[in-house]
Structure 1
Amino acid sequence: MTTSTPDYDYNFTDPTDSPDEPCSFQAEPVEVIIQTYIHSFICAFGLIGNVLVIVTYLFYKRTKTMTDVYLFNVAVADLIFVVALPFIIYNEQNSWLMGPVSCKLLMSAYSINLYSGMLLLACISSDRYVAIVQARRTFGTRSRNLFYSRLICSAVWVFAVALTLPTFIYTERFEVWNLGGDSVTIMCQLSFNKSETAKLMKILVPSLQMAIGFLLPLLVMIICYSCILCTLLRAQSSQKHKAVRVVFAVVLVFIICHLPYNVALLSHTVALFTVRSCDMEKLKLHVLTISRSVAYLHCCLNPILYAFVGVKFRSHFRQIMLDLWCVSKKYISSARSSRATSEIFVSGIKTSDASNMSSFSA
């Protein structure tokens, strides 16, 4: 397995190595097995959590706030990545079996998730700042706020796609001769025809990833949540301590998941195009791979930190489960026609929508 990031490959040449003993970056079998289990966990729980968020959002169309719209788009971004992750991992461990178009699309899925997901989390932080710190001000009707939130989400997606264009354009499906020259491995990674382009992209892509995919959202979160904490600590509320713990959890999990990977990526990027020893390069790539897997965990934790922590979201989710259970129970016991069953289901959903809850994320 080549320990490289999904965004670009790290071509490494150490002139101090003997031509008879080239530097090999093949991962140990134990490392491959551990990563397989970790990524399987991420795929399973990321798929379940984000699908539940999307289903809950779609079933309750009348109970939306700006944060709800952001949460829905975060879940969509994480779901895209979770679906693409098994193919990305398979590409790193085996030859690429699919065509060049799927190669470009799947390699771009990581970048789109990174930029859109992180920027949307920054939008959620800003929206919570407005809702808590600026609560006394009037910011228009709910329909107007929903329009603005959807407009912002559209802009975020367009911006994420624009930032992903270098990955999409330069990702190619090509053949690489293995050590010894007796077999060929088909790779799906960034490939460049000119050395100047390679140098530019290998600096530009990770720099954008660190600046826009980590530092900018982190800065927005620190500013917004610091103001929120000050407001909560001054408030006389029985829910104050719980809200403070949630704020700390959101920021802490974000830092724990993404800081190690970005530090490792920065260290590796700074050392590009310089002579490195083979052992040091192997160590850096192992650290980069491990920290990247930790960063992937955030897509599983987003539904818990941002959706299921909300009382109204949990209430709506329980109502959906109750509606589905009642429908199935009545269908089995009475063996009614499919038309009657459909009417019961619609009735259950309408009853849920009539509640006084205004947001499943509150």
Structure 2
Amino acid sequence: MVEYPNTVTPDYEYSTDDYPDGLCNMDQNLVDVNTQTYIHSIICAFGLIGNALVIITYTFYKRTKTMTDVYLFNVAVTDLIFVVALPFIIYNEQQSWLMGSVACKILRSAYSINLYSGMLLLACISGDRYIAIVQARRSFGARSHALTYSRLICSAVWMFALALTLPTLMYTERFEERNPGVANATVMCELSFSNAETAKLMKVLVPSLQMAVGFLVPLLVMVFCYSSIVCTLLRAQSSQRHKAVRVVFAVVVIFIMCHLPYNVALLTHTVSLFQLRGCEAEEIKLKVLAVSRSVAYLHCCLNPILYAFIGVRFRSHFKQIVTDLWCFSKKYIYSARSSRGTSDICISGRVSSEGFNNMSSFSA
């Protein structure tokens, strides 16, 4: 009988100590590795471009003048942290974690920070839009200090996300695991516990926090706020109300489509952690977890589109970025005289772009 350490994968997909007899020899490549690599590469590419453009826009072209601006900037930052960490996570998983223990802890914590901070910030955006549209008259005076409030809220969200990530940071370890019938040891980066009681507690506590704080609470806030916003918009005499309602509908539906499958699969797995399961059924469940997790990752690519680029004025800033990049590229192609003229055009274009007002929350 081979004894296994009290370990559990960061996404709570599989742990050898879940099986009393240790007879299940789970294939770690449950979903084709190449397919997952391609999907995650696309997520990284689009997520990196979209969120970087949001950050560049707010840094150089559009000042953060509203609470939603501050929230959007912070959402882009947390999504960017995750998409930067994701390629290293994929590489190390395929190469048996060549990087050290510090990188192991940091990379495994990146998803947890992104999950908590990103989802809570999306809830803050829906709350801000609710106050701005539904409670517009009552909140007029209070919103004069919007930037101060939003920065304090964002600081609190980041601190809360870091606190919730502490179990992952503390218990994640890089270690070698020897499997029966395999000559070479497998280097793993997983949650590791010194005793069974701690393992049982964390196996329930951490995924429960992910489902509650990272999905259920933001979903309830978004459903309440956006339902109230839709009712208010439908009563308003505006030619743009139908477009605004469609945007609200798209935000909620895409959020549910991306995160509900993974949370349902994670809940099913957590409930069955301490029950005897058949190997075949477990393999199917792990495949569902892997696929649904990739779908959840996709949301970090869609956030810039749903919350930023859909705004008319934000799109104008994006066009200005493209124009300026084109202008500055010509600087290295043409003569010094042409480059000076091009540079002047770029600068004047940037200055004019700063004169735009804030983007409407639901302009399309």
TM-score if structure 1 supplies the norm length? Answer: 0.91
- Residue 151 of structure 1 is matched in structure 2 by 152
- Residue 203 of structure 1 is matched in structure 2 by 204
Change beyond 3 A, Cα 1:14–1:222: closer
Asked whether the equivalents of residues 62 and 317 of structure 2 are also in contact (C-alpha less than 8 Å), the reply is: no
- Residue 304 of structure 1 is matched in structure 2 by 305
Change beyond 3 A, Cα 1:14–1:269: closer
Asked whether the equivalents of residues 132 and 139 of structure 2 are also in contact (C-alpha less than 8 Å), the reply is: no
Asked whether the equivalents of residues 7 and 190 of structure 1 are also in contact (C-alpha less than 8 Å), the reply is: no
SS at match of 2:193: coil
Change beyond 3 A, Cα 1:30–1:126: closer
> How far apart, in 2, do the equivalents of 1:279 and 1:235 lie?
55
Asked whether the equivalents of residues 50 and 79 of structure 1 are also in contact (C-alpha less than 8 Å), the reply is: yes
Change beyond 3 A, Cα 1:223–1:180: same
SS at match of 1:191: strand
- 1:136-174 Cα deviation digits (max 9, x unpaired): 234347662111111101100000000000000000000
The letter of the residue matching 2:14 is: Y
Change beyond 3 A, Cα 1:292–1:30: closer
Deviation of 1:10 (Å): 3.0
Change beyond 3 A, Cα 1:343–1:159: same
> How far apart, in 2, do the equivalents of 1:188 and 1:78 lie?
22
> How far apart, in 2, do the equivalents of 1:170 and 1:63 lie?
38
Change beyond 3 A, Cα 1:100–1:244: same
- 1:50-76 Cα deviation digits (max 9, x unpaired): 111111111135352110110110011
- Residue 127 of structure 2 is matched in structure 1 by 126
- Residue 67 of structure 1 is matched in structure 2 by 68
> How far apart, in 1, do the equivalents of 2:64 and 2:195 lie?
53
> How far apart, in 1, do the equivalents of 2:102 and 2:11 lie?
16
Change beyond 3 A, Cα 1:62–1:34: closer
- Residue 173 of structure 1 is matched in structure 2 by 174
- Residue 233 of structure 1 is matched in structure 2 by 234
> How far apart, in 2, do the equivalents of 1:82 and 1:173 lie?
22
The letter of the residue matching 1:10 is: Y
> How far apart, in 1, do the equivalents of 2:62 and 2:106 lie?
31
- 1:264-317 Cα deviation digits (max 9, x unpaired): 000000001211111111111111111111111100111111111111100111
Q: Which moved more, 1:103-112 or 1:342-351?
A: 342-351
Deviation of 1:337 (Å): 9.8
Q: Which moved more, 1:88-97 or 1:335-344?
A: 335-344
Choose which of 10, 13, 19 in structure 2 pairs with 1:6.
10
Alignment of 1:48-127 (within 5 A): 48-62=49-63, 64-127=65-128
> How far apart, in 2, do the equivalents of 1:165 and 1:340 lie?
53
Change beyond 3 A, Cα 1:319–1:189: same
SS at match of 1:319: helix
Deviation of 1:350 (Å): 1.9
- Provide the aligned C-alpha RMSD in A: 2.4
> How far apart, in 2, do the equivalents of 1:79 and 1:333 lie?
34
- Residue 194 of structure 1 is matched in structure 2 by 195
SS at match of 1:186: strand
> How far apart, in 1, do the equivalents of 2:222 and 2:9 lie?
26
Percent identity, aligned pairs only?
73
- Residue 313 of structure 1 is matched in structure 2 by 314
Deviation of 1:334 (Å): 4.4
> How far apart, in 2, do the equivalents of 1:284 and 1:113 lie?
24
Asked whether the equivalents of residues 171 and 188 of structure 1 are also in contact (C-alpha less than 8 Å), the reply is: yes
Q: Which moved more, 1:335-344 or 1:137-146?
A: 335-344
The letter of the residue matching 1:320 is: I
Q: Which moved more, 1:275-284 or 1:69-78?
A: 275-284
Asked whether the equivalents of residues 8 and 167 of structure 1 are also in contact (C-alpha less than 8 Å), the reply is: no
Deviation of 1:77 (Å): 0.6
SS at match of 1:272: coil
Q: Which moved more, 1:156-165 or 1:319-328?
A: 319-328
SS at match of 2:176: strand
Count of residues in Structure 1 that have an aligned counterpart in Structure 2: 355
Alignment of 1:18-57 (within 5 A): 22-28=23-29, 31-57=32-58
> Is residue 359 of structure 2 the alignment partner of residue 359 of structure 1?
yes
TM-score if structure 2 supplies the norm length? Answer: 0.90
Change beyond 3 A, Cα 1:360–1:85: farther
The letter of the residue matching 1:282 is: E
> How far apart, in 2, do the equivalents of 1:325 and 1:337 lie?
13
Asked whether the equivalents of residues 7 and 107 of structure 1 are also in contact (C-alpha less than 8 Å), the reply is: no
Gaps of 5+ in 1: none
